[in-house]
Chain A
Amino acid sequence: MATTTPDIQRSRRAKSASRPGDRIFSGLSRGSGITLLVIMAAIAGFLTYRAILAISKDSTNFFTTFEWNPAGNPPVFGIAVLAFGTIVSSIIAMLIAVPVAIGIALFISHYAPRKLAKPLAYVVDLLAAVPSIIYGLWGAIFLVPYLDGLNQWLDEYLGWTYLFDKANEGPARSLFTVGILLAIMILPIITNVTREVFLQAPKMHEEAALALGATRWEVIRMSVLPFGRSGIISASMLGLGRALGETMAVAVVLSPSFLISGHLLDPGGGTFAQNIAAKFNEANEYGRDALIASGLVLFVITLLVNGAARWIIGRRKEYSGAAA
């Protein structure tokens, strides 16, 4: 017995470092954590390196040029159109998806009959599991023709808004259609996160409101939505991150062009990810570097959006932890 006591003391002092098995295992697990950080750093580093190679040979301003011709002499390429298309299609997607997702989340958390709620949450998860290429295929073959009528109607009655003026005839392979498709694709993630937050809303507040005679909507407006506001914001930003980086669905549905047009219903435009997928096969090595440069911009944007979303979630966690 006397001999074991120093052992324990030593092992407590040196924590897990005393036994070789412990040392190896903790080293391995710490190493994997570090590997992840290294990968993230490497992604940023290598993309930046190749991007600098490309941009230094670009004969025009990378950020304001409306053309993509890195194979030309001199090479000319810029991301203005891509940035515009990416942002516009994502904004359309957010405008549609966020309200609907909040509705579905409320439906699952507060409105649906108890027995229905679980299967419904499951169905939403399945929506998230559908591969994006299948959304693209469905969008291109099924959704595009179905939206023709709606587009005509919008053009006829809302054409005066300029945005919905369809100046260019042709199938609905437009940023507007892409926005709708992206909205469907990011619905599940926004729904899931907001639903979690709504379920955490303090039951006491809800019951107190009910006891005072509030209707169900008043309960939600006064106790659930204020509590979930930051959750809704961060969920939307996670969805935005997805929408910004979506590749295949956009590549399949959009008929790309290097023009900026405020007419949302006109076919044309492009996004970062779509442009990479579309231009990759014909690009030479320098062209690939140019695509990597545009990918770097996309990477930085999604990094900022996701980082902000996580930061908001993290802040809320502390806040609600203190309150509970």
Chain B
Amino acid sequence: MSHAIQERPVSVAPRRGPLSHARLPRWTPAAVAVFSIAAGIGIGLAAGWHSKVQWGMLAALLFVLTTYAVTTKVEGSRQAKDRVATSLVWVCFVLAVVPLLSLAWVTISKGMAVLDVYFLTHSMNGVLDTEAGGGVYHALLGTIEQVGIATLIAAPIGLLTAVYLVEYGGGKLAQAVTFFVDVMTGIPSIVAGLFILATWNLMLGFGPSGFAGAMALAILMMPVVVRSTEEMLKLVPNELREASLALGIPKWRTILKVVLPTAIGGITTGVMLAVARITGETAPVLLLVFGTKLINPNPFEGAQSSLPLYVYEQYAVGTDASVARAWAAALVLIAFVMILNLVARGIARWKAPKTGR
């Protein structure tokens, strides 16, 4: 590494003394950016390209090339490379933000057109695909029940597993659990759905129900809960445990009364983020819950609906009215997930362990 650093500067030929390189003014990157965006739009218009994607890509390309040309001329090749790297990194950043903004904008603008109180409080009972109206109540109810049951299954198992790994672990078993929790995080959601399908539906002969979907969601949720809880438990200072044990308090009470309360904020955050993640899962619900137009409040019997499944079904129908409903349901879903996210992060900040940093 040090070789490379020593060799590099040799190639630079200082033109006006070692410390007084010509420097571009600070506003250069901004000016180049404005120029290339203008040029991108101009050339795009002139060539008659319809797709704004091309305009943007051209502008990005111009931005990088112009930066390189200008800097090489004024500051020399090393600085030019540095500037090009900087501009590339900026381009990457913009590339990531554009889809997010576009997605948020499209969902909100199209979703707001249909979304109202009626939409939230009615089901699709008796609504034809081609006519407007109908609502998302049955799907909302289904989602809340399925996610609730999944949380009831996954949260205790995940939490206890994390406790095992941090407080009791250390052997071969703990190693295996750690590894497979990591691997489990990567299970495709459709595979979890197929597993429940193979056991619960095909082997044991149960029909589609909200509960079957909830079990698949629980499988997806467990590793996420284990991971985040584990991280939080590791943050609890050892002094607290030792103090409690030194007072003669049994280990299990130490964990329940000292360790878990200290980390409860972070654990709650982790569980809520996991809930947010499974709320948007469509694939297992598609296989196991099946979808219905009617309100079915019983998650253990008969087909239910759920928000992501509703979005998929309404999109698949393909009429104007149903696609509009799909956008509105997508907006409800995204709002649900984002609120969970924001609240979770709020709790994390509010309950952050005082010892950290």
What residues of chain A have their CB less than 8 Å away from a CB belonging to chain B?
16, 19, 21-22, 24-26, 28-37, 39-40, 42-43, 46-47, 49-50, 99-104, 106-107, 111-112, 120, 122-127, 129-138, 140-142, 146-150, 153, 184, 187, 191, 205, 208-209, 212-218, 220, 222-223, 226, 238, 241-242, 244-248, 251-252, 273, 276-277, 280, 285, 288-289, 291-292, 295, 298-299, 302-303, 305-307, 309-310
| Proximity bits, B220-254, A CB within 8 Å = 1, else 0 | 00110010000000000000000000000011110
- The reply to whether B88 and A226 form a contact with Cβ atoms under 8 Å apart is no
- A37-B176, A107-B89, A305-B186 known; A131-B168 Cβ under 8 A: no
Say yes or no: is B311 at the interface (Cβ < 8 Å to chain A): yes
- A30-B164, A209-B5 known; A150-B53 Cβ under 8 A: yes
- The reply to whether A111 and B89 form a contact with Cβ atoms under 8 Å apart is yes
- The reply to whether A215 and B79 form a contact with Cβ atoms under 8 Å apart is yes
What residues of chain B have their CB less than 8 Å away from a CB belonging to chain A?
1-2, 4-6, 8-9, 49-54, 57, 78-79, 81-82, 84-86, 88-93, 95-97, 99-100, 102-103, 106-107, 156-161, 163-165, 167-169, 173-174, 176-177, 179-192, 194-195, 197-199, 202-203, 219, 222-223, 226, 250-253, 255-256, 273, 276-277, 279-283, 286-287, 308, 311-312, 315, 323, 326-327, 330, 333-334, 337-338, 341, 345
Question: Among the listed A16, A120, A131, which residue makes an inter-chain contact with B337, where contact means beta carbons less than 8 Å apart?
Answer: A131
- The reply to whether B198 and A33 form a contact with Cβ atoms under 8 Å apart is no
- The reply to whether A103 and B54 form a contact with Cβ atoms under 8 Å apart is no
A-B contact pairs, 21 of them (CB 8 A): A21-B250, A25-B256, A26-B251, A28-B160, A33-B161, A37-B180, A49-B198, A103-B91, A103-B92, A103-B93, A104-B93, A129-B277, A129-B280, A134-B103, A138-B107, A184-B99, A212-B9, A245-B190, A247-B282, A298-B190, A307-B179
Q: In the assembled complex, which residues on chain B have CB atoms less than 8 Å from the CB atom of A298?
A: 188, 190-191
- A39-B219, A123-B100, A137-B327 known; A273-B49 Cβ under 8 A: no
Instruction: Give 18 new A-B contacts, CB below 8 A, not counting A126-B338, A127-B96, A146-B51.
Output: A19-B250, A22-B251, A30-B164, A34-B177, A120-B93, A130-B103, A141-B106, A149-B50, A149-B51, A150-B54, A150-B57, A216-B82, A217-B84, A245-B191, A252-B315, A288-B197, A299-B191, A310-B183
Question: Among the listed A28, A34, A131, which residue makes an inter-chain contact with B173, where contact means beta carbons less than 8 Å apart?
Answer: A34
Q: In the assembled complex, which residues on chain A have CB atoms less than 8 Å from the CB atom of B199?
A: 42, 46
Q: In the assembled complex, which residues on chain A have CB atoms less than 8 Å from the CB atom of B163?
A: 29
Q: How far is the CB of A171 from chain B (nearest CB, A)?
A: 13
* A242, closest chain B residue (CB): B186
